Amino acid sequence: MSRAHAKQAPGEAGINGTATAWVVSCEHATNHIPPPWQHLFDDAELLQSHRGWDPGAAGLARYLGRHLDAPVFLGKVSRLLADNNRSAGHPKVHAPAVRALPKSEREAIIRAWHAPHQHGVIEAVGAALAGADRVLHISCHSFTPELNGHVRTADIGVLYDPRHDGEAELAHRWKQALLASSDLRVRRNYPYTGHEDGMTRILRRRFGTRVLGFELELNQALLQRGEFSSSLLETLLKSLRRAAEVD
């Protein structure tokens, strides 16, 4: 687990007048493979690709955490070793090379690298709920502009569970705020759906509707020298604050 910012945000006037706290995470922050398993991933191109990590997502998470005064949790290993955006029991929590390892070794990887990240996020949300009516959790990601020959038709994706009324309302407001302040292509539940297995779903199941969880997906075509521009990050922050009614 990496806590880039450990300060708990105080409750703020937010959605529908409720006190809202914030938690930010980035499950695919790095493509790091610790030495014991580096021999399994000697393909540098694979590690640098979207299969190894989400370029730019860690910087996005740090920016949001800093400006929202929220705790930030960054994954410490590549998703190929252990995908922090999967449940521990998910069949694809490990890449094929890791799935071929003995069960005891796979369990050790989960204990060392996967569980600390998820437990850290869970504990932060639980602590925040003690002083706020709701917690807004933003899970930061980036996506490859083209996958399997299909060009992605969005710059920003806001993923959420449409069965969660609070999430659906805020996702709509966030999209409208982004469209009103930029010429970015914004889509909801794209390029993935927001109710699948992942960090946001884990939190929903544990805490219920007091947690509003969103996966924020940015198109990697927007990267400039490996990072998203300050103007783009500022646009995202302002639109999120407007959608959540936080000054």
Reported as a single tens digit per residue, the pLDDT across 10-29 is 455 555 556 999 999 999 99
Environment class of residue 97 by beta-carbon count within 10 Å: exposed (0-12), middle (13-18) or buried (19+)?
A: middle
How, if at all, do strands 211-219 and 156-159 pair? antiparallel
Q: Are 182 and 190 in contact (CB under 8 A)?
A: no
Report residue 8 as tokens.
């708990």
Average pLDDT over residues 194-204: 97
CATH class of this structure's domain 2-244: alpha beta
Instruction: State how far the Cα of 141 lies from the Cα of 121, in Å rounded to an integer.
Output: 16
Instruction: State how far the Cα of 220 lies from the Cα of 50, in Å rounded to an integer.
Output: 9
Q: Which residue has the higher pLDDT, 116 or 6?
A: 116
What pLDDT band is residue 52 in, cutting at 50, 70 and 90? very high
What pLDDT band is residue 245 in, cutting at 50, 70 and 90? confident
pTM as predicted: 0.93
* % of the chain exceeding 90 in pLDDT: 91
**Tens digits of residue pLDDT in 156-196:** 999 999 999 999 999 999 999 999 999 999 999 999 999 99
